[in-house]
Structure 1
Amino acid sequence: MHATIGDRIHVHSNAVGAADRVGEIVEVRGRDGTPPYRVRYSDGHESLLYPGPDCVIEPPARA
């Protein structure tokens, strides 16, 4: 997995009834864009994320 600052990460829920989470990558701590990533979610919460197979990196939307 490879990401840059400003990319969005979509974490698909693995539980029935639980919502997916989408956040913005604000820091890449691995070498050459590899995990872990510091992610800021829409509610302002930040966490360090080691993405699994349920995650998708999305480039930022173009204006």
Structure 2
Amino acid sequence: MTATRAPQGQEETRAGLWARLGDRLIVGGATVGDHGRDGEIVGLHHGDGTPPYDVRWSDTGRVTLVFPGPDARVQHFAPHAGPSAVRQS
């Protein structure tokens, strides 16, 4: 029996929150009008990419251990391509 793989460049489907190094964690604001925070995931504590994460926040540059809540989501980037490799036209 051979394992099936997602075609190159496509994400595999997974349930729940998961991430890879270089992905972006986006956390909603605590109050109306607060846009929240975002940061780069720079450390994983589990091999399957589940939380918690070490996140370098874009607003302060600090790295903190984060246990994301229900208002958090992960923006995935292609493997080996972090946020700095994504170009906007």
1:32 and 1:53 mapped to 2: Cα distance?
A: 19
The structure in which a higher percent of residues are strand is: 1
Q: Are 1:45 and 2:62 an aligned pair?
A: yes
- The amino acid across from 2:39 in the alignment is G
1:32 and 1:59 mapped to 2: Cα distance?
A: 14
User: TM-score, normalised on structure 2?
Assistant: 0.63
Q: How many residues align?
A: 63
C-alpha RMSD over aligned residues = 1.5
Q: Which runs of 5+ in 2 are unaligned?
A: 1-16, 78-82
CA deviation digits over 1:17-37, x for unaligned, max 9? 434100000001124101110
Q: Which runs of 5+ in 1 are unaligned?
A: none
Equivalence for 1:18 = 34
Task: Give aligned-pair identity as a percent.
Answer: 43
User: TM-score, normalised on structure 1?
Assistant: 0.85
Query: 1:34 aligned to 44, 47, 50, which one?
Result: 50
